[in-house]
Structure formats: structure tokens, C-alpha cells
Amino acid sequence: EDQVTQSPEALRLQEGESSSLNCSYTVSGLRGLFWYRQDPGKGPEFLFTLYSAGEEKEKERLKATLTKKESFLHITAPKPEDSATYLCAVQAEAGANSKLTFGKGITLSVRP
């Protein structure tokens, strides 16, 4: 069974204080690892897809990296508007569909 574990559950940062969010996963053949952002009362918003170990992707203050067992979402000099829940999910090669298995998410709060 595919599993995703995210840590820590919650993270409070001061504006400008860089940090990393962790996502550990087990999957029967990785088709893709996804990061989404979810704001309160809204649906998940797609950020990144990573396909293979060693891959990195960047968007503004966010950089996602991937190894064979983990992914990290690095946040550089965060701003209050980066406050949200960050979700990690895996998509397996096996099977007839593209369903995602999600972790519980990491709630990030950035204080001004």
C-alpha cells in the first residue's frame, strides 16, 4: 500500500526565516510526486511534480527536491502570504488510473 508521511505537522516561522518541509513516501513504482498548497476553505492548488530522484523544481521562494525515499519543500525567506497547508502526494505506476495518495499535510504559519 502506498504511504506518505509529512513532518512536522505544523511549523511556525518568522518572516525571512528559511526552513524545509519533509515528505517521506513508499510507493510501488513512482510515477510522480506532487506538492500542493491548500488555503483554509479552499481546494488544493498544484505547485510541483517531480518524477525521478535528483530532480529539483523552483517557483518563487519554493524549491522542491526528490530522493528515492523523500521529498523536501524548501522555503527561502518566507513571507506571511506563504502561510498555508502544504500537501505531498504520490502517484503510482501500477494501476489503471492517476489517483493520488496524500500525506496529512504541514501547516505553515509565517509571522510578520
Partner 1 sequence: NAGVMQNPRHLVRRRGQEARLRCSPMKGHSHVYWYRQLPEEGLKFMVYLQKENIIDESGMPKERFSAEFPKEGPSILRIQQVVRGDSAAYFCASSLRGAGRGANVLTFGAGSRLTVL
Assess contact for 100 and 78: CB atoms under 8 A. no
Of 77, 99, 109, 111, the one binding partner 1 by CB under 8 A: 99
Of 19, 49, 76, 83, the one binding partner 1 by CB under 8 A: 49
- When asked if residue 23 is in the footprint of partner 1 (CB under 8 A), the reply is no
Query: Quick one: 46 or 81, whose CB is closer to partner 1?
Result: 46
Cell numbers for 80:
506571511
- In angstroms, what is the minimal distance from the CB of 33 to partner 1? 8
Assess contact for 93 and 29: CB atoms under 8 A. yes
Distance from C-alpha of 95 to C-alpha of 31, rounded to nearest angstrom: 11
- When asked if residue 32 is in the footprint of partner 1 (CB under 8 A), the reply is yes
Of 11, 24, 31, 61, the one binding partner 1 by CB under 8 A: 31
Of 43, 68, 81, 112, the one binding partner 1 by CB under 8 A: 43
